Structure 1
Amino acid sequence: MAELLDEEELTAAVRSALAADDALPSGGNMGWEKLAAIGVPGLTVPGRLGGLEQSAVQLAAVYLEMGRARSSAAILPTMIAIDILLATNTGRGDDLLREIAKGNVRFASPADPRVRSLSAACEGSDLLLDGTASNMTFTTGATHALLVADFEGADAWFSVALPLAVRAAEQPLWDQSRSMGAFRFDRTRIAADQHLLLAERRETLDDLIVSHFDLGIAGDSVGGARQIFELTLEYVQLRHQFGRAIGSFQAIKHRLADHYTMIEAADALYGHACVARAEGASDALEAASAAKLFCCETYRKVATDAIQLHGGIGFTWEHEAHRFLKRALLNEQLGEPPDARLARLGHEALGNGTTPAPESEMAREGLSS
C-alpha cells in the first residue's frame, strides 16, 4: 500500500484545480484535464498500474471539492469503474486501469443500476448490444460506459468503449452542471478488445456500485451545501438594512445556526460512511444509503434558504444561488428515490426486511428542465 496523501493537501490541490471550472457540461473537459494533471483519475488505481493507490477516505475529500465547485468532470463514474475492475481481479482490466490513471478514459454510468433495458449476445469474440441504456450520467465527453444487460439469461455488467457511431441522446436537465442521456444500440457490434465482461451475475457488483454512487453524491452534497452556506454567511454580513448588517437579525442568525448544525451532522455522517466503506464494514451499504439521504436533504434545505437569505438578488439568473439549488435537487433524485430509500431504511432498521422500491422518479417523470 502506498503512503496515504495528506487530506488537507489533497483538498487544497483539488480545489485549486477546480477553481476555473465553469460548472457547465461544456466545461467538464477543462475540469477533467486539470484533475488528471494532478493524478485524481488514478487516485485509487494500484501503484503498479500507474495510480496513486489511495483509500476511500482520500477519495471522500475529492467528492467534497467536486460539490463545492459544482464540477461536471466525470470523476464519480470513473472511480466506480475502477472499483469494479479491481473487484473482478482477473487482470483483464489492467490496460484499462493504466489508461484511466493517465486521464485518457472517462466513464458514463447509470444513475440507478437496478434498471436494465439492454440485451447482449456474443458473436464469435465480439459483443452485440441491443436496446437503450437510459438515465446514464456524465455522458458528455465519455469514452466508455458501464452497462448492465441481459446476457445468456442473467444480468451481467460490461465495460464498453463507446463506438464513434454511438452518441448519447442528451437529456435536458434543470441542473446545467451535469449531463445525462441515453445510449442507443441497434445490435451494435463491440469488438473483442473494446469490451470487458465484468461479472456474469449483476448481484455481485450491485452493492459495490450503489454504495459508491451514494457516497459520491453524498460528498458532493456536503461540499455544495458548505459552499453556498459560506457564500450566504458572507452576504448577510455585507448587506445592511435599517443601519445594521442583516446577519445581526435574530431570525437570520437562528436560520444560519440551523444550517451550520445540519451541515456538520451531514459531514459527520458522510465521514462515517466513507470509513465504513474503506474498512469493509458489514453496515457499509446502509451507512452510504443513510448518508446520501441526509446529505441530499441538507443540501436542498440550505440551498433553498440561501436564495431567500440573499434577498432579491438571490432570485436572479445572474446570481449563482440557483445553480446550487438545481444541483441539490438533482442530487436528491439520482439513484433510489428519497421516499423509497427512507421506507427501505426504516424497514431494515426495524428488522422487517426491505420494501419493494417504487419506480424511479427519473424514469417516471424525468429530470428535464
Structure 2
Amino acid sequence: MDETIDLGALRDSIRDVLNAECPRELIVKHAQHNDGMDRELWSKAVELGWTMLTIPEDHGGLGLGIEALAVLHEELGRAAAPLPFLSSLLAAKAISDSADAAICEAWLPRLAAGAVASLSLPMPLGSTKLSVNCVGDSLVLTGAVLNLLDGADAEILVLLAKDEHGELVRVVLDVTADGIQPARTTLWDRGRSLANLGLDGLHIPAERAWPATGAQETALANHAAIALAADSVGGQAAVLDMTIDYLKTRQQFGRPIGSFQALKHRVADHRTRFEGDIWLLRSAVSAVAGDMDHRATEASAAKALATANYVGLGRDAIQLHGGIGFTAEYPIHVFVKRALLNEQLLGNQAAHLTRAVSRIVEGAA
C-alpha cells in the first residue's frame, strides 16, 4: 500500500472531476461524433497531474505505485472516459524500466507533462514484426507494427523489435521529429482507437534503444492486465448503478420492475460476480506491489474474469433496460463496447487464463 497518498482521497478526487467533466452525456456525444481521445478532457487530466502519478519523482512524476494506478483506471472505467491513459502509462513504465538514465531523462518528463504515448502491445509476450539493425551510429527499423493502442493520437511510440541476433529490443520514436504517422483504425469503442505503422528503413539514433528483457515484458503484461481489470471493475460499477436505478423507476403493472423476483435474481448474480472481481483485482494489485512469485497468475486471472463478467453484465443490462437500452442516445452501449474491447485488448480471455494457470501446471509437472 502506498504510504505517500491517501488512496481513498485520490479515488474521490478523480471521481469528482470525471463526474463534472465527463458526464454520460459527453461520452454519448463523443461516441457519435469522434474517434479516439477527448483532447479537452486530456488537458484537464494533465493539469490535475494524473499523467504524473506513476512516473518517478526524479523525472517530474509523483512516483506512486500500482495501487494508485489501479485506482485511476477504475475511475476512468466507471466514467468510460475517452482518454489514452492505458497506452501512455504503459509506455512510461517501459521507459522507466529500461534502467537507462539518459533515456529516462529524455522522455519521462515529456510523458509526465502530458505527451500522449503508445506502446507495442505486450501480449503475446515477445511477438513483433519489426526488425532493428545497426548501421554505423544509427539503428534502422524495418517492418510493421500492428494494433498500436491510441497510436494515431500519440506523440511518442515505444516499440518492440528484434535485432540481427534475434534479441528483443525496445525503441522509442518521436512521431513528429521522425516524420511518421500511424494509420488509425476505428473501433466500436469510439473512445479508443488502434493504429498500424509501416517502417521501411527508418534511421534513429542508437541511444534510443535498450534491451527488452523477459522480466520487463512480463512486468508490462502484469501492469496492462491490472489496468484493464480495474477499468472493467469500474465499468461494472457504473452499469450496475444505472441498471438498478432504472429497475427502481420503471413501472409495470403498477409497481417498479425491480420488485419482480426474476429480475432481482439476475442483478444479484451480476452483483456477486462483480464483488468477486473486486477482491481478485485487489489481490492482484497486492501481489504485483509486493513482487510476489504469483503476480502474473493473479494479474491475468483478474483481467480474464473481470473483462468477461463486464461483457456479460453489459449485454444483460441492455435487456434489463428494455427498449431504451437499445438506443444510441442512452449511454449503456458505450460501456458495452468498452467491455467488449477490454476483453480482447492485450491478450484475450483464453490467453490470460492460460497464463494464469501456467504456474500451477508447471508446479504439478
**TM-score relative to the length of structure 1:** 0.88
Distance in structure 1 (CA, Å) of the matches to 2:43 and 2:364: 45
CA 1:236–1:40 in structure 2 vs 1: closer, same or farther (change >3 Å)?
A: same
What's the counterpart of residue 180 of structure 1? 194
Deviations 1:126-152 (A, max 9, x none): 332111100111124201112111113
Structure 1 residue 305, shift from structure 2 partner: 0.8
In structure 2, distance between residues paired with 1:289 and 1:88: 23
Further displaced range: 264-273 or 29-38 = 29-38
Q: 1:72·1:138 contact (CA, 8 Å) conserved in 2?
A: no
User: Which residue of structure 2 lines up, in the alignment, with residue 363 of structure 1?
Assistant: none
- The 10-residue stretch of structure 1 (15-24 or 323-332) with the greater mean CA deviation from structure 2: 15-24
Whether 1:15 aligns to 2:29 is: no
Q: Corresponding residue for 1:48?
A: 58
Deviation (angstroms), 1:353: 7.9
Equivalent of residue 225 in structure 1, options 233, 236, 254 = 236
Superposition deviation, residue 2 in structure 1: 8.9
Cα distance in structure 2, aligned partners of 1:160 and 1:196: 8
Instruction: Measure the CA separation in 1 of the matches of 2:8 and 2:105.
Output: 30
Q: Which residue of 2 aligns with 1:121?
A: 133
1:28-47 → structure 2 map (5 Å cutoff): 28-47=38-57
Shift of 1:346: 3.7
Match of 1:162 in 2: 175
- The C-alpha deviation readout for 1:155-202, integer Å capped at 9, x for no partner, is 21122222463112112212112110111112122346xx62132x44
Greater helix content: 2
SS, match of residue 188 in structure 1: strand
1:353–1:317 distance in 2 versus 1, CA, 3 Å: farther
2:83 to 68, 73, 97: 73
Residue deviations 1:267-308 (CA, integer Å, cap 9, x gap): 111111111111111111111000000100110111111100
Matched, 1:171 2:182: no
Asked if the contact 2:225/2:300 (under 8 Å) is kept, the reply is yes
Change (3 A) 1:237 1:336: same
Q: Percent identity?
A: 32
Map of 1:277 onto structure 2? 288
Give per-residue Cα distances to partners, 1:51-107, cap 9 Å, x unaligned: 11212111110010111111232212222223223322221112311222222x221
Indicate how the Cα distance of structure 1 residues 304 and 2 shifts in structure 2: closer, same or farther if over 3 A, else same.
Answer: closer
Provide the rounded CA distance (Å) in 2 between the counterparts of 1:53 and 1:344: 29
**Number of aligned residues:** 350
1:208-357 correspondence to structure 2 within 5 Å: 208-351=219-362
CA distance in structure 2 between the partners assigned to 1:234 and 1:225 by the alignment = 14
SS of match in other structure, 2:151? coil
TM score, norm. by length of structure 2: 0.89
Residue in structure 2 matched with residue 360 of structure 1 by the alignment: none
* Residue 145 of structure 2: aligned partner: 133
User: Following the alignment from structure 2 to structure 1, what is the Cα–Cα distance between the partners of residues 10 and 288?
Assistant: 20
Structure 1 residue runs of 5 or longer lacking an equivalent are 355-369
Higher mean Cα deviation, 115-124 or 267-276?
115-124
